[in-house]
Amino acid sequence: MTISIHHRDLIARLAAAEVNYILVGGLAVGAWGHLRATEDFDLVPDPDSENLSRLIGVLEELGGRVKQGEQMLDSGSVRIYIRTGDKAYVVTELGDVDVLQGLPQIPRYAELETAAEEADVEGLNVRVCSLQHLIEMKRAADRPMDRMDLEALKTAHPKAFEEG
């Protein structure tokens, strides 16, 4: 899978810091065979306290600040939002990182981790959500881009969409 240099650098930094997470969203769609442009890096982190500290460290090193709507919160917002288990849209020098926690349409890390698969992203190993989890999340979100992703995934993996 080919990705932007910024996303590759972010993956490398997360790996160097030993941050455990599952890749979801547009990059996961790419890992499952439908390459499309995506601006942000969507992940579900392992909620272990030490893991969250490592994730916060990486995001803070990259100048991360939480964005809510059009408002940028102060630099301490990353620690607060990630520690409380809230969704955090973090703007960093390597691009936007959507840290997805506590949302009803996104399975928790423990559930995603049981079915996640390893993907090689330009020589870096990344845990990507299962195709079935990705389909479920795209159906739950039901935005225009999600519907287009589902059609592309259905073309690439028709058996995953067969009724059981």
CATH number for the domain spanning 36: value is 3.30.460.40
Please report the DSSP string for the chain in residue order. Answer: ----HHHHHHHHHHHHTT--EEEEHHHHHHHTT-----SEEEEEE---HHHHHHHHHHHHHTT-EEEETTEEPPTTHHHHHHHTT--EEEEETTEEEEE--S-TTS--HHHHHHH-EEEEETTEEEEE--HHHHHHHHHHH--HHHHHHHHHHHHH-GGGGS--
The verdict on residue 164 lying in a domain is: no
One digit per residue, the tens of pLDDT, for the chain of length 164 reads: 667 888 899 999 999 999 999 999 999 999 998 888 888 999 999 999 999 999 999 999 999 999 988 899 987 889 999 998 889 999 999 999 999 998 888 999 999 999 999 998 878 899 999 999 999 999 999 999 999 999 999 999 999 998 64
The verdict on residue 20 lying in a domain is: yes
User: Which pLDDT score is estimated for 93?
Assistant: 94
Specify the number of domains making up the chain.
Answer: 1
The verdict on residue 153 lying in a domain is: yes
Domain span at residue 114? 5-159
| pTM of the predicted model as reported, rounded to 2 decimal places | 0.93
Q: Give the percent of the chain with pLDDT over 90.
A: 75
Give tens-digit pLDDT for 89-124: 999 999 999 999 988 889 999 999 999 999 988 788
